[in-house]
């Protein structure tokens, strides 16, 4: 794992955006997995800025978001689809037909997850997965558990995860859906490259656990230790609990 630490969250987010832009310019038809959450918002801002300045062309790229709430979809307030529209899709030249988000409103969720997995495979798999990390170590919505699902699947969200997402639902965690659809840990780990972005003091403990602790499905992000091409982009606060000079 290659760990880079920046003084501020904004600088870390810009660095993550630069990594994405680098991948995109080396391979314009990049297939990239995208995260939601507060952490990537400044990264998306930097990507939009780069696009406006002519430094990022998404016209041949394909994106697959990591997850979506069950019961919510395109146009629903609180959905990750709406999040992506307002932070990225509406502002760059990404073809809408190639910007994939799981449909949490699909009448048949089993078909939806199978079709998503098929679409990812047909696109040749992820070249790059850009990830955030949940306070409990989750990736996408792959929650800590004794065993994880390799493929895209339906999950029951843990209470701490519903609380962490309350902001999207007017601060009411009870309003956060109880279930979600998520790309599987196998699909994420098959990405040829990974960029993990984490910022802020609230992530310090889990970042240290994921990067320097033992590999365990109880901390899904720790599985990234086994991936051959991971860049971890942190700000100073998120890096604060890492053992000195380990990286």
CB of 229 to ligand GLP, least distance (A): 19
Cβ neighbours around 158 below 10 Å, total: 16
Nearer to ligand GLP, 57 or 208 (CB): 208
Cβ neighbours around 103 below 10 Å, total: 19
Q: Which of 23, 51, 81, 138 is catalytic?
A: 138
CA atoms lying within 13 Å on the CB side of residue 214:
3
Cβ neighbours around 54 below 10 Å, total: 7
Q: Which of 65, 67, 112, 237 is catalytic?
A: 67
CB of 208 to ligand GLP, least distance (A): 16
Cβ neighbours around 164 below 10 Å, total: 20
Nearer to ligand GLP, 27 or 68 (CB): 68
Contact 4, 235 (CB under 8 A): no
Nearer to ligand GLP, 62 or 161 (CB): 161
Nearer to ligand GLP, 27 or 231 (CB): 231
Q: How far is CA 235 from the centre of its chain?
A: 17
Catalytic site residue 136?
A: yes
3-class secondary structure per residue, 97-127: HHEECCCCCCCCHHHHHHHHHHHHHHCCCCC
CB of 150 to ligand GLP, least distance (A): 17
Catalytic site residue 103?
A: no
CB of 211 to ligand GLP, least distance (A): 15
Nearer to ligand GLP, 39 or 62 (CB): 39
Q: Which of 136, 149, 160, 179 is catalytic?
A: 136
Contact 60, 94 (CB under 8 A): no
Catalytic site residue 112?
A: no
Catalytic site residue 91?
A: no
CB of 217 to ligand GLP, least distance (A): 17
Binding site for ligand GLP (CB under 6 A): 35-39, 66-67, 132-134, 140-141, 161, 164-165
Q: Which of 143, 153, 235, 237 is catalytic?
A: 143
Cite the active site residues: 67, 136, 138, 143
């Amino acid at each position: 794992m290659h760990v880079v630490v920046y003084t501020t969250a904004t600088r870390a987010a810009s660095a993550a955006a630069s990594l994405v832009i680098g991948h995109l310019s080396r391979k314009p038809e990049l297939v990239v997995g995208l995260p939601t959450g507060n952490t990537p918002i400044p990264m998306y801002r930097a990507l939009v800025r780069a696009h406006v300045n002519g430094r990022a062309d998404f016209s041949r790229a394909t994106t697959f978001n990591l997850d979506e709430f069950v019961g919510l979809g395109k146009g629903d307030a609180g959905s990750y689809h709406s999040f992506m529209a307002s932070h990225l899709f509406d502002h760059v030249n990404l073809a809408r037909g190639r910007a994939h988000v799981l449909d949490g409103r699909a009448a048949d969720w089993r078909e939806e997850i199978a079709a998503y997995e098929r679409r990812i495979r047909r696109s040749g798999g992820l070249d790059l997965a850009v990830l955030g990390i949940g306070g409990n170590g989750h990736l996408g919505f792959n929650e800590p558990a004794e065993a994880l699902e390799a493929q895209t699947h339906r999950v029951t969200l843990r209470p701490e995860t519903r609380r962490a997402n309350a902001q999207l639902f007017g601060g009411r965690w009870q309003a956060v859906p109880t279930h979600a659809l998520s790309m599987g840990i196998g699909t994420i780990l098959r990405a040829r490259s990974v960029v993990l972005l984490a910022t802020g003091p609230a992530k310090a403990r889990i970042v240290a656990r994921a990067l320097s602790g033992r590999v365990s499905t109880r901390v899904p992000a720790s599985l990234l230790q086994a991936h051959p091409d991971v860049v971890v982009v942190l700000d100073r606060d998120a890096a604060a609990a890492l053992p000195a000079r380990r990286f």
